[in-house]
Amino acid sequence: MNRARLADRLDDIETDGYLLDAAQDDANQLYLSGFTGPDPFLTLYVDGSVHLLVSGLEYGRATEEAAADTVERHAEYDYEYGGREERYDMYAAFVRDKGVESVSMPPRAPVGTADAMRDRGIDVAVDGDDALAEVRAVKTADEIDAIREAQRANEAAMRAAESLLADADVAGAGDEPEAGTLLYEGEPLTSERVAEEIEVTLLRHGCALDETIVAGGTQAADPHNRGSGPLRADEAIIVDIFPRSKATKYNGDMTRTFCVGEPSDRLREWYDLTERAFEAALDAIEPGATGADVHAAACEVYEDAGEPTFRTDPDTETGFIHSTGHGIGLDVHELPRLASGGGELEPGHVVTVEPGLYDPAVGGVRIEDLVVVTEDGYENLTEYPISFGV
Amino acid sequence: MNRARLADRLDDIETDGYLLDAAQDDANQLYLSGFTGPDPFLTLYVDGSVHLLVSGLEYGRATEEAAADTVERHAEYDYEYGGREERYDMYAAFVRDKGVESVSMPPRAPVGTADAMRDRGIDVAVDGDDALAEVRAVKTADEIDAIREAQRANEAAMRAAESLLADADVAGAGDEPEAGTLLYEGEPLTSERVAEEIEVTLLRHGCALDETIVAGGTQAADPHNRGSGPLRADEAIIVDIFPRSKATKYNGDMTRTFCVGEPSDRLREWYDLTERAFEAALDAIEPGATGADVHAAACEVYEDAGEPTFRTDPDTETGFIHSTGHGIGLDVHELPRLASGGGELEPGHVVTVEPGLYDPAVGGVRIEDLVVVTEDGYENLTEYPISFGV
Please state the three-class secondary structure of A284-335 as a single string: CCCCCCEHHHHHHHHHHHHHHCCCCECCCCCCCCCEECCCCEEECCCCCCEE
Burial class (CB in 10 A: 0-12, 13-18, 19+), B163: middle
**Per the CB < 8 Å rule, is A315 touching B75?**
yes
Cα A51 to Cα A18: distance, rounded to the nearest angstrom: 10
Ranges of chain B with pLDDT below 70:
80-82
The values of phi and psi at residue A355, to 5°, are -70, 160
Taking Cα atoms as reference points, which of A297, A236, A300, A310 lies closest to residue A270?
A236
The C-alpha of B341 sits at a distance from chain A's nearest C-alpha, in angstroms, of 8
Cα A378 to Cα A383: distance, rounded to the nearest angstrom: 14
User: Which pLDDT value is given to residue B80?
Assistant: 67
Across the interface, of A196, A323, A341, the residue whose CB is closest to B204 is A196
User: Which pLDDT value is given to residue B176?
Assistant: 81
Chain B residues inside the 8 Å CB shell of A115: 111, 114, 126
Q: Is A64 on the interface with B (CB under 8 A)?
A: no
Cα B213 to Cα B241: distance, rounded to the nearest angstrom: 7
Cα A307 to Cα A329: distance, rounded to the nearest angstrom: 32
Chain B residues inside the 8 Å CB shell of A25: 25
Chain A residues inside the 8 Å CB shell of B310: 80-81
Q: How far is CA B186 from its chain centroid?
A: 36
> Is the CATH number 3.90.230.10 carried by domain A141-380?
yes
Decide if the complex's ipTM is over 0.85. Answer: yes
Query: Is the CB of residue A284 less than 8 Å from the CB of residue A254?
Result: no
CATH of domain B138-380: 3.90.230.10
Cα B303 to Cα B271: distance, rounded to the nearest angstrom: 15
Query: Is the CB of residue A57 less than 8 Å from the CB of residue A36?
Result: no
- What separation, in Å, do the N-terminal and C-terminal C-alpha atoms of chain A show? 40
Taking Cα atoms as reference points, which of B197, B139, B162 lies closest to residue B381?
B139
State chain B's mean pLDDT as an integer. 95
Cα A182 to Cα A178: distance, rounded to the nearest angstrom: 9
Query: Is the CB of residue A371 less than 8 Å from the CB of residue A345?
Result: no
Taking Cα atoms as reference points, which of A34, A26, A75, A27 lies closest to residue A51?
A34
User: Which pLDDT value is given to residue A81?
Assistant: 66
User: Which pLDDT value is given to residue B314?
Assistant: 81
User: Which pLDDT value is given to residue A216?
Assistant: 98
Q: How many residues does chain A have?
A: 390
Cα B110 to Cα B42: distance, rounded to the nearest angstrom: 11
Domain ranges of chain B: 3-136, 138-380
Query: Is the CB of residue A345 less than 8 Å from the CB of residue A291?
Result: yes
Q: Give the type of residue at B157.
A: A
User: Which pLDDT value is given to residue A359?
Assistant: 97
pLDDT along chain A (390 residues), means of 10: 80 91 96 94 95 91 94 88 88 98 97 98 95 95 98 98 97 86 96 95 89 95 93 98 95 98 97 98 98 98 96 90 96 94 96 98 97 98 97
The C-alpha of A174 sits at a distance from chain B's nearest C-alpha, in angstroms, of 32
Q: How many residues does chain B have?
A: 390
DSSP 8-class letter at B189: P
**Per the CB < 8 Å rule, is B113 touching A124?**
no
Cα A72 to Cα B206: distance, rounded to the nearest angstrom: 40
**Per the CB < 8 Å rule, is A56 touching B341?**
no
Q: Give the type of residue at B300.
A: E
> Is the CATH number 3.40.350.10 carried by domain A3-136?
yes
The values of phi and psi at residue A126, to 5°, are -85, 125
Cα B17 to Cα B2: distance, rounded to the nearest angstrom: 18
Chain A residues inside the 8 Å CB shell of B203: 196, 199-200, 203
